[in-house]
Each structure stands twice: as structure tokens, then as C-alpha cells.
Amino acid sequence: MEKTKKKSLFADLSLVAVAFVWGSGFVASKNALGSMSPIMLMAVRFTVAALLSGFIFRKNLRKISKETIKAGCMIGFFLFTAFAAQMIGLQYMLAGKQAFLTATNVIMVPFIYWAVKKQRPDYYNFVAAFTMLIGLALLTMDFSVGFSFNPGDVLTLLCAFLFACHIVVVGIYSKQHDPIALTVIQLCFAAVVSLGYVFISGEFTLDIPVPGLLNGLYLGIFCTFLAFLGQTVAQKYTNSTHAAIILSLEAVFGSILSIIILGDTFTLTMFLGCLVIFLGILTAETKWSFLKKLFLKTKPKNPEKLTEI
């Protein structure tokens, strides 16, 4: 029992660390974009992550099938397009704001899965989606000039949708193929496509300032390779709902760090939007089951005796 508690605590701390690192990724990306183009940054990030994962997990690639390669490339396609939309959109908006907009992907997943697998989302998912729309309105729209999205908002919502698609295809293919092999292939796919694009477009450069290169390496090593690995290991010792609650802190950490490090300024309306979106995420991911458990624990076991007294 004590060992189980220690493993559970380790898993929780690991997931908090992953959420923090992912949140810091928005700040690192914003800083790095001052030194290179969005796709060049992706090329650095995914090449570093692909080389590390390919070397460490090379044994998982020895007897790989064509079907696994195809599945990994499909997952890699959504990974690449999601990050491309995110990096380009980040040029037009606050890093903290983007952190919350990107996090809306967890609310989109059940509806995409509904379209693919014909499994209707439950009541909580619909409530979460409606809550998200209210939060998005507060966070993205400038009510003083009317209802309007800027290019960064549109691209980041596209990014959230593509990340939701990525989650769905990972959920489908990971049950049919080796998850580690799929991870390596998707990172390699994203790296190859990113490098191909920057070479063809003429954006490739080795003349990257040291701060930009360090941010790119941080994104590749910590935010991509180690974070995905940490999440996979930690979730062996905790349930998905519990993990989702902790990982949703990514948006909170991203916003706090963007304010501290980048000096982003949030209006009261934007803060309210972030709060509403976070409530929507909790509704979709947890269905408030932790409150139900807390209520059952605090509820008297023998209410009849209380009334007699």
C-alpha cells in the first residue's frame, strides 16, 4: 500500500512537471520566433526530439510493419499541421492567451470521436462545449470594436482542432500498434516535413542566435521528448481522469509564465475568459467526479441516527 502511494505521488509530481514544461513551451516558442521562422523552429524542435527518441528506442523499430509506419505518419501529419498553425498564430497574439485557446482541444475530442466512431458525447461534454464558447468570446473578442477574431485567434483555434484530431487518431492507432514506435515515427515525420519545407522555401538557416537556438533545444528536449515520455510513464500509475486534471494546468502555467517572463498584460475580461475555459476543461475531462467522491465521503453514513438525536 505504501509503495502504491509513493508511485501515485511520483506520478502526480511528474504530471505537474509535464504541465509546467508544456506551459513554459509557449514562452520559449514566443522567444525563439524572434530568431527564426515558425517552421524553422519546428524543424529544430522535432529534429532534436526525433534523434533522441530514435536513438533511445531504436529496439522498438527493428521489426516495424508497414501498417505501423502508415499509422505513425498519419499521426505525424496532425502533429505537424497542429504545431504549424500554433507557431504561425503565436506571432500575432499573447503566449498566455494562446495557452488557453490551445487547451480547448480537450473539449473538441469527444465531438470528433463522435463523427469518426459514431459514439455520442455525454451531457457533460455538451455543457463543456457551451462553457468553452462563452470563455472563447471573453478571451478573444474585443467588445469595444464589435465581434472580431484576429489571425492569431483563428490559427490557434485551428491548432486546437488539429490537436484534437491528433488525440483521436493516437487513441485509435495506439490500440493496434506499439505506442513507442508510433511516437518515434510521428516525431520523425514532423521533423522530415519541417526540414523539407524550410529547404524548399529558403527559410533554412544555420545562422541562429544563441538565445533562439537554446529555446529551440529546450523545446525539443524538454517540451517534446522528455514531456511526452514523462506523461507516458506517469500515466501507468494513475487514471486518465486524474491525469487530465493535472495536465490541464498547462494553460494556467503558460499564462502565468507569459505574464512573468514576457510581460504579457491581461484584461479582466481575458482573465474571466481563461477561468471559464478552464471550468469547461474540468467539466469535459473530470465530469466533476472528484466533487461527487468528496460529497460521499463527507455524507453521514447513518443519517437516521442523526435525526433521532
Residue 79 or 241, more confident: 79
Give domain limits for the chain.
Answer: 2-308
| Widest distance between CA atoms in the chain | 83
pLDDT-wise least confident of 32-46, 67-81, 168-182, 208-222: 168-182
Question: Angle CA(252)–CA(257)–CA(259) in degrees, nearest 5?
Answer: 100
- List of residues 6+ apart from 276 with CB closer than 8 A: 131, 132, 134, 135, 138
CB 96 within 8 A of CB 270: no
What's the pLDDT band for 69 if we cut at 50, 70, 90? Answer: very high
d(CA 68, CA 174): 10
pLDDT in tens, 218-232: 999 999 999 988 887
What number of CA atoms fall less than 13 Å from residue 37's CA on the CB side?
A: 15
- pLDDT tens per residue, range 18-54: 999 999 999 999 999 999 999 999 999 999 999 999 9
